[in-house]
Amino acid sequence: MDSVAAAQVRDAARTGTPRIGVLALQGDVREHFAAIEHCGATPVNVRRAAELDAVDALILPGGESTAISKLLEVFELLEPLRARLRDGMPAFGSCAGMILLASEVLDTRPDAKHLYGIDMTVRRNAFGRQVDSFETDLDFAGLDDAPVRAVFIRAPLVERVGPGVEVLATIPSGPFAGRIVAVRQGNVLATSFHPEVTGDLRVHELFVDLVRGR
């Protein structure tokens, strides 16, 4: 980490305002950036290893998971990001971000990369094509005041979780009833859906609180 980045991290620690990066290679970066800002943290676009070094946590946005995985290699971020996750950096992935954080991915390209951030098996595009996108209300562990309105767009499903993974939300009804769509393992959170597009900031607030608590 260079001296400027280190000074920024020290300043954030003193003020209690975490610097939360948003992986800005592809996908709905702007929406996550705005949500983090509204939650009282400092959002930072991350495209380079030096920028990753300068943040306390990272959001991996929705988008196209295989494209993002290729760009992680192009921008020389894949191994630095895996290392930060191994070292305990908090992270939150939505939709494609959930796929990237998985330890195993089904129905993906053989050359796609993932980050091993959560011990889980994820299936890409599990609900079908773009025309099969839908919304539903979810009971979300830790957010007890009201259900979370969840938007699913070519979303993944969690097929398996390891013993250290907490299930936060499942589909309440219909053909996918009981299927897992939100999880947490330690400092790493992932959702199949897009909380950044609804205006409900509670999932982002939960993540910011997790970063502060760390």
Binding-site positions for L-glutamine read 63-65, 124, 153-154
Q: What is the residue type of 8?
A: Q
Residue 103 has which token pair? 């330890």
Residue 49 has which token pair? 């290893």
Identify the active-site residue in 39, 114, 196, 204.
Answer: 196
CB 18 within 8 A of CB 41: yes
CA torsion through residues 30, 193, 188, 147, sign:
positive
Q: Which of 208, 213, 171, 170 is nearest to 189 (CA)?
A: 208
- Is-catalytic flag, 39? no
Residues making up the binding site: 63-65, 124, 153-154
- Is-catalytic flag, 135? no
E strands, the chain, in order: 19-23, 42-46, 57-60, 91-94, 102-106, 118-123, 134-140, 143-152, 157-161, 166-170, 180-185, 188-191
Identify the active-site residue in 39, 51, 95, 114.
Answer: 95
Q: How many helices (H) and strands (E) does the chain have?
A: 7, 12
CA atoms within 13 A on the CB side of 208: 22
Indicate the SS3 state at residue 178: coil
- Is-catalytic flag, 194? yes
Residues paired with 73 in a beta bridge: none
Catalytic machinery residues: 95, 194, 196
